[in-house]
């Protein structure tokens, strides 16, 4: 039980550090692509760490979508972004524990549940890709360099993270 509490606190700490200062929209095509990647990886029996990478990307995408919706409705309250991040991560992770997808003692990487590890990694990768897309647009005077850049960058970085994770876990078994 102590390990579960440590993992949840780790996610909360990382999330608090990485909270965006303002909500920015994420396109629906990207969110659907991430969701499809999760479904496909589970169906194919892919390692939980890789599935977690895609779940982390999906969680961040949904959070950004929701924060943008709240902004459009002019809904603001103290610590809003922090509370939204906390609620989304809590419900995703609690549901995975409830379904028995997390917490198995043999499904670990570096002492942490593989799915949880993947969620943290995927969240970080998605946030980085989001920032990279914004940086590229800024350098190009507010315009994208190529069509669907907002989709291609996050999905590509999630694929790269998945391949790196796969390679590392297979090489060091």
- The total domain count for the chain is 1
Lowest-pLDDT range of 9-23, 56-70, 111-125:
9-23
Q: Which residues span the domain enclosing 107?
A: 2-7+29-171
Q: Which pTM value belongs to this model?
A: 0.75
58 belongs to a structural domain: yes
pLDDT of residue 73: 94
pLDDT above 60 (res 128): yes
Q: Which residues pair with 113 in a beta bridge?
A: 108
47 belongs to a structural domain: yes
14 belongs to a structural domain: no
24 belongs to a structural domain: no
- Token pair for 147: 């069509």
109 belongs to a structural domain: yes
pLDDT in tens, 62-121: 899 899 999 999 999 999 999 999 999 998 888 888 877 788 888 888 889 999 999 999
23 belongs to a structural domain: no
21 belongs to a structural domain: no
Query: Three-state SS for 149?
Result: helix
Instruction: Tell me what the mean pLDDT of segment 24-33 comes to.
Output: 57
pLDDT above 80 (res 22): no
Asked whether 13 and 119 are in contact (CB, 8 A), the reply is: no
82 belongs to a structural domain: yes
């Amino acid at each position: 039980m102590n390990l579960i509490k440590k993992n949840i606190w780790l996610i909360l700490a990382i999330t608090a550090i990485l909270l965006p200062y303002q909500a920015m929209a994420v396109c629906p095509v990207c969110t659907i692509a991430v969701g499809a990647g999760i479904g496909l990886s589970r169906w194919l029996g892919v390692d939980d760490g890789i599935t977690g990478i895609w779940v982390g990307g999906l969680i961040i995408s949904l959070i950004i979508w929701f924060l943008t919706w709240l902004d459009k409705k002019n809904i603001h309250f103290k610590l809003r972004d922090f509370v939204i991040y906390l609620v989304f991560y809590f419900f995703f992770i609690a549901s995975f524990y409830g379904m028995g997808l997390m917490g198995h003692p043999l499904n670990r990487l570096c002492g942490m549940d593989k799915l949880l590890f993947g969620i943290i990694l995927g969240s970080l990768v998605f946030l980085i890709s989001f920032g990279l897309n914004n940086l590229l647009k800024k350098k190009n005077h507010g315009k994208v360099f190529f069509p669907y850049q907002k989709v291609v960058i996050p999905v590509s970085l999630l694929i790269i993270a998945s391949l790196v994770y796969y390679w590392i876990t297979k090489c060091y078994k």
